[in-house]
Structure formats: C-alpha cells, structure tokens
Amino acid sequence: MTLLSPFLSGVPGWMRRPVLPAVLLAGAVAVSVATGQPAPADRASGVSVPVSAAIDVPAGLGNLLLVSAGTLVRFDVETGTITPVPMPPGQLALQAWPLRDADVVLTASPPPGAVGGPAAVPVPAGTAPPGPDLTDGTAASGADAAPPTPTWAYAIPRHGAPVRLGAAAAVVPAVDGTRVWLLHGDTATLVGLDGRATASWVRVPPGYRLIGATRLGPIATVGGADPLTVLLPADGGLPRWVANAEALDVADGVLLVHSEHRIGSVPLATGVPHWLPGLSAVSITGPGTLSPGAGSFAVQARVNEHARLVVGRMDATSTGDLRVVALEGGAALDRPPAPVWTEDGRVLAVRPDGRMVVYRPGDPRASVLSPQYHASGVAAVAPVAPNLPH
C-alpha cells in the first residue's frame, strides 16, 4: 500500500465530496513525500518540533565526549576545539562514559584486513555499538558476517596509560561513578577503574539486558510478550521483581519503561507503573534516558521509517505535553545511540546520518550542530560534567 492508496480506494465516490479539500490533502501528501516527512494522516500525536541549523553555537553545552569512526575525542562545542583521547593500541572506540577519575571506553579490534579509516570501524556513524542487549561477550554479527569481534572495556585516566578492565559485551557505570559493571557471558562483575574486580558479581538471566545500576545492584530487563524488569542484588541474593514492563533507564530510584506507543515510570519502591498518554502514530523503540532527578525523559522513536525523539516530563497529563523532535538524515536505525541530558537540561540526540541535534524542552525548535566537529559523524556522545577535569 502506498501513501496514495487511501485516496485511490475512494475514487468511485469522489464526486460526492468537496473537490477543494481533496486537492489540498493530496497536495499535502505530495509535499510530505517530496520532503521526506510523514503524510498528514500519519502525523504523530504530541507537538512536532522541527529542526534547523544552529545560527549561533548553543551556549552552555560545554565539553562532549564523542565516539566517531573508532576514535575518542573531547569536543568543546563553544570553541570548536577537538582534543583526541589516547586509545589503547590496536583498539577502536565503540562507546564511552566520562566518570570521575577516568573515561571508560568499550572497544573492539578492527576487522581482519581493515586498514584504518571509517570503513574499518565495525559500527557505522550514527549507530550505537553492540550493547547491553547482548550477553555472549562479543559484538553482534549477522548470519553472513565475519566471526564475532571480542569487545573490551578500558579505563583511560586523565594522566597515565589506559587500563584494561576486562572483556565486556556491555558496560554499566556504578552509581558512585568510580566503578563499572562489566557484562561478560552471563555474568556482570563490579570492577574498579584500576582494573581490580570487587567481590560483587551477579548472574544475568538469559535474554535480559542491563540498562543501569542502583546502589543495591544492576537492573536487568527483557521485552516481548511478557516484559519484566528485575534488580540483581550485588550481595548475591536472588533477582528481585521490580515491574512487569520493559525498562529503558533507571535514575534516582525511578525506572523509565515503555510499551509500543506509551512511556511510563515505575518507582523502585512500589513497582507500580504510571503511564503517560499514548502517542498513537509513534512507535516507541528506545533507547531512552531520564534527566538528572528523573523529572523528564528522552526516548528514541519512529513515525513510519522516520527517526524521532520523544521528550517530555514524567508528570505529563496530555499528548500536548509531549514533544516529538524530527531526526532526519536517513531511515531510522535499528540500534540508535541513546539520547543524553546536559547539565543545563538540554537533550542531545544523534541522527541516522551521525549529526547531533540539541533540544531544550519547551523550545519551539531544535538545532542540528555544525558538521565541522567531525566529518565522519558521531556514533556515541556523552556530556562531560563541569566539575570533571578536561
């Protein structure tokens, strides 16, 4: 069925209808198709937010930690300064987290026969790395792909050589910011940034993925027909039920959960979900993140094949309280990077073409940052807190 099918199916009775509305609607469909926008009949509920090129460099974004074409850099948005972060020899960056005493990076070796450059990177620009949905300790691969690529976690201190933390399919920073949970096989181990494993480890149930951590232990979730989220106690106890919903993030004792068209929150203390108004034309795909304090959310989504970012407060009472930001630049990705929140309450998201979009909730427009920061596009981004050394 094409976008014009609903109109073609009504041709036998078209003469009984006013001509002008039909012509205008057909014209709107044609314009939508020509510009890559969804047709009016497929518009998402919520308030649509267009994106324009930034006229002025957004103030207050500070420093960002970027992964692009296998490299790791710190980017000062206001000055445009790019500072390379030294990587372990022979490793390509997939994802990174700026912690208190070091940057933690998930890495992989280039594919056999690769000779550097963007083509050597196993993860395209704009695509999140194989991540917390894997439990086999290796990067994802298709049926006809090369053998799985082992992935590793390293701590890169502000001064000194990189420290290999261990093999990892996923990395989840601990709440204290000085340690990380490393998922390898079906086991997640709490490791210090000096590479020393602690006595804390948990068994991750088959099919579950880690989405974050609490002071009691990491949170694991599974979707599908019977979604479930559990706490994996760091003291070695049995998994504890948290919610009958698939989680995207956890912060300040609150889970961000979703169904196909709805977003909700679940306090860890009660396990009772609070669902926000549904977005009928929007498919909530994730990943998603909560703002500091868990008062707002940002979640990757789709309208047909178009990537969107849904942003709103957790106490929204109507679809008019939810913003749907256009993330053009190609077809929506199967594994987009997670959006991130800056210290001043703005959201950064990566488009399918690897360019970054910045949005302050409540503003009528979002801005796409200048492409000069890195020609190859961004595969992962994390804001560097102002109190961390640069």
- CB neighbours of 197 closer than 8 A, spacing ≥ 6? 166, 189, 190, 191
CA 103 to chain centre: 19
Which ranges constitute the DSSP H helices of 164-229? Answer: none
**Cα→Cα distances 269→175, 231, 240, 266, Å:** 17, 12, 12, 8
pLDDT in tens, 199-241: 999 999 999 999 999 999 999 999 999 999 999 999 888 999 9
pTM over 0.75: yes
Can you read off the two tokens belonging to residue 276? 């926000």
Report residues of the chain scoring pLDDT below 50: 1-43, 115-147, 375, 390
- CB neighbours of 62 closer than 8 A, spacing ≥ 6? 76, 77, 78, 342, 343, 383, 384, 386
Q: Give the pLDDT confidence score for residue 87 in this predicted structure.
A: 93
Q: Give the pLDDT confidence score for residue 42 in this predicted structure.
A: 38
Q: Are strands 347-350 and 340-341 parallel, antiparallel or unpaired?
A: antiparallel
- CB neighbours of 98 closer than 8 A, spacing ≥ 6? 65, 382, 383, 384, 385, 388
Using alpha carbons only, give the angle 370, 376, 379 rounded to the nearest 5 degrees. 90
Largest CA distance in the chain: 78
Burial class (CB in 10 A: 0-12, 13-18, 19+), 387: exposed
CB atoms within 10 A of CB 285: 21
Can you read off the two tokens belonging to residue 6? 């609903």
Can you read off the two tokens belonging to residue 361? 């909730």
Q: Please report, in angstroms and rounded to a whole number, the separation of the first and last CA atoms in the chain.
A: 53
225 φ, ψ to 5°? Answer: -65, -30
The CA distance from 295 to 312, in Å, is: 9
Per the CB < 8 A criterion, the answer to whether 328 and 51 are in contact is: yes
Q: Give the pLDDT confidence score for residue 330 in this predicted structure.
A: 87
The CA distance from 353 to 265, in Å, is: 30
The CA distance from 150 to 342, in Å, is: 31
Per the CB < 8 A criterion, the answer to whether 378 and 350 are in contact is: yes
CB atoms within 10 A of CB 265: 21
